[in-house]
Chain A
Amino acid sequence: MSLLALSGIRKSFGAVDVLHGVDLSVGHGEVIGLVGDNGAGKSTLMKTITGIYRADAGAIELDGKDILPLDPGQRRRLGIEMIYQDLSLAKQQDVASNIFLGREPTKKLFGLFPGFVDKASMDRQAAEMIERLGAHLPAINRPVGSFSGGQQQTVAIARALTFNPKLVIMDEPTAALAVREVQSVLDLIRRLKSEGIAVILISHRLNDVLAVTDRIVVLRHGRAAADLATAETNMNEVVARIVGGGDMSAAAAHEQRG
């Protein structure tokens, strides 16, 4: 049985139909590449999985359980995490506050008053997580807005991985990174797969997608236009599916040079 199963997902914003009935399934520990042109509906589809958007029609099941009525917090607790393209960090808060946002551990103050956030434990676990990711941050207790882009992404990744996720969605995680940082993100995806964690990778960088995924799903005009096994496809075919028929040899050649 697959981990996540979407069927017939539809979503429109006012008069604009973005998703016209998308089917998608993700197995345990499977790495899926989600590609498509700008406006194909990739980010919208992912936000219907995390619950930020509510699908107009269709079904979403996680381990066979219907999660459509659940809000984003409940879906996170079931193990669906997303690293957003804009990272969605609270920039004036520190590292631990961001990693634990919405799930802060609490303790009793003086053994009497419950509900006090256990900041010491948060800081400790946050430092361990950053360490495990092999990253360095200037300070754990500074606002994340004072960090560089790569460091902020480390915090966003740590937030997604701290609570034993089953599925991690990454929206353009490598778009703003230098070459070496891109490699570490790709290594991370491989490591997650080896730990049995499923990954959906949204990326315009097809070389990255071809390098780490098991399957590539092409979204086109709000529909899943193709579902390709990565081992049996190539750059030309993926590009052809993205632009959709016609003369695509020039586009494919361009991608291959890039």
Chain B
Amino acid sequence: MAVETARPGLWTRAQRASVDQLHIRLESLIVLIALGAVMAVLSPFFLSLSNFLNILLATSTIGVLAIAATFVIGSGGLDLSLGSVMGLAGVAGAYVAVNLEWPWPLAVAACILAGAAAGNINGQLVTRAFVPAFIVTLGMLGLARGLALVISHGRAIYGLPSAMVYIGQGRPLGIPMPVIIFVATALVAHCVLAYTRFGRHTLALGDSEGAACAAGIRVERHSRIIYTLSGALAGLAGLLFTARVNAGDPTAGINYELTAITAAIIGGTNLFGGRASILGTMIGALIMGVLQNGLTLLAVQSYYQQMAIGAVLILAVFIDQYQVRRESRV
């Protein structure tokens, strides 16, 4: 039917091997290593175990949000409400623990459930009311943030029970709890996305809704599950943040969706769905973490860090689109 194609070049083969074996784009791995090398040269404090744990700790909240972004974008959707839902979830948990004085496990559950509920509303509106995901989740960005401010009367809720604070500040074996939870979540999420039917259907749905539908996948139900999962993960991020700062802060997570989506995209997630990997996203999240950590060590103003994140997002999508266009011309 067709001739065998010519053997691809070394670079292409290395790219494919990296994606096939590690689920990581070679470019993002190289960027992370190069960035780490530059920071190590520029700052004597960069290469140390404590700074490494610092980076992971600072990345944990964003990292969990980036996992959520990877699932949603991989399925062909978009969730702009991640940061706001994270803020709402943290306030909900603090309110349950402090104002209602319920036991801490219920407060933990409240964080996750508040996030899942917001995500489920996103999913219902996208799949049943046919409002575009961009608008639904942009609206939820405002709704969830406003609700967090209403519940907390605009002030942070202090005085969490110590068991809850341990989730954010505890260090079993010297490793921060948020790092443990983040890494465990990432490993489970990676297995789900890469190796289960659910994960494969998620990518197929993002690739072609028509193909997924023709194959008998219940695409709308699947979308609702993805949005609910995304919200629940934002709830987990809210829990980690709230427990770490020991307060339910209604302004927590502002602009975090920007960083989370950037991490997913530079990790190799196709902006339009169909291609995504959690390990890739973790590399992306670490790139963002190293960038912020390094700029902080170099005493660069945080305003510039914000600009750097925005620039990286645009650059990452540019490179991705450039490659797609080049491949489709061949």
CA distance A68 to B210 in the complex (A): 20
Contact (Cβ within 8 A) B1 A73: no
Q: A89 touching B211 by the CB < 8 A rule?
A: yes
B214 and A92 form a contact (CB under 8 A): no
**What are the interface flags for A135-155 relative to B under an 8 Å C-beta threshold, 1 for contact and 0 otherwise?**
111100100001110110010
**Residues A141 and B20 in contact, CB atoms below 8 Å apart:** yes
Check if B208 sits within 8 Å of A73, measured CB to CB. no
Report how far A45 CA is from B216 CA in the complex, Å: 18
Residue numbers in A under 8 Å from B191 (CB-CB): 109, 116
Chain A residues, CB < 8 A from B327: 146
Say yes or no: A151-B212 contact (C-beta < 8 A), given A104-B197, A104-B200, A117-B196. no
CB of B213 within 8 A of CB of A101, answer no
Most buried by A among B200, B211, B275: B211
Q: How does the 8 Å CB contact mask read for A62-99 relative to B, with 1 for contact and 0 for none?
A: 00000000011111110000101010111111000110
What does the 1/0 interface line of B233-277 toward A look like (CB < 8 Å)? 000000000000000000000000000000000000010001100
- Please determine whether A117 and B197 come into contact, CB atoms closer than 8 angstroms: yes
A117–B274 CA distance with the chains assembled, in angstroms: 18
Q: Is the CB of B214 within 8 A of A91?
A: no
Given A92-B274, A101-B204, are A135 and B212 neighbors across the interface (CB < 8 Å)?
no
Interface string of A92-134 (1 = CB under 8 A from B): 1100011001111010010000011101000000000000000
One digit per residue, 1 when the CB lies within 8 angstroms of any chain A CB and 0 when it does not, for chain B 195-209 equals 111001101100110
Is B30 at the interface (CB under 8 A from chain A)?
no
Q: Mark B1-34, 1 if CB is under 8 A from A, else 0.
A: 1101100000000000000100000000000000
Question: Which residues of A have CB within 8 Å of B214?
Answer: 50, 52, 72, 82, 84, 88
CB-CB contacts below 8 Å: B200-232 with A: 200-201, 203-204, 207-208, 210-218
Known pairs A90-B207, A101-B212, A109-B195; A138 contacts B217 (CB<8 A): no
Report chain A residues within 8 Å CB of B208: 88-91
**Interface residue A181 (Cβ < 8 Å from any Cβ of B):** yes
> Across the two chains, which residue of chain A brings its CB closest to B272?
A92
Q: A52-B213, A91-B208 are in contact. Are A151 and B195 (CB under 8 A)?
A: no
A-B residue pairs in contact (CB < 8 Å), sample of 13: A72-B213, A74-B216, A84-B210, A86-B210, A88-B210, A88-B214, A93-B200, A97-B200, A101-B200, A101-B212, A117-B196, A138-B4, A148-B2
- B-side residues, CB < 8 A to A, are 1-2, 4-5, 20, 191, 195-197, 200-201, 203-204, 207-208, 210-218, 270, 274-275, 327
Q: Which A positions have Cβ atoms within 8 angstroms of B?
A: 50, 52, 71-77, 82, 84, 86, 88-93, 97-98, 101-104, 106, 109, 115-117, 119, 135-138, 141, 146-148, 150-151, 154, 159, 181
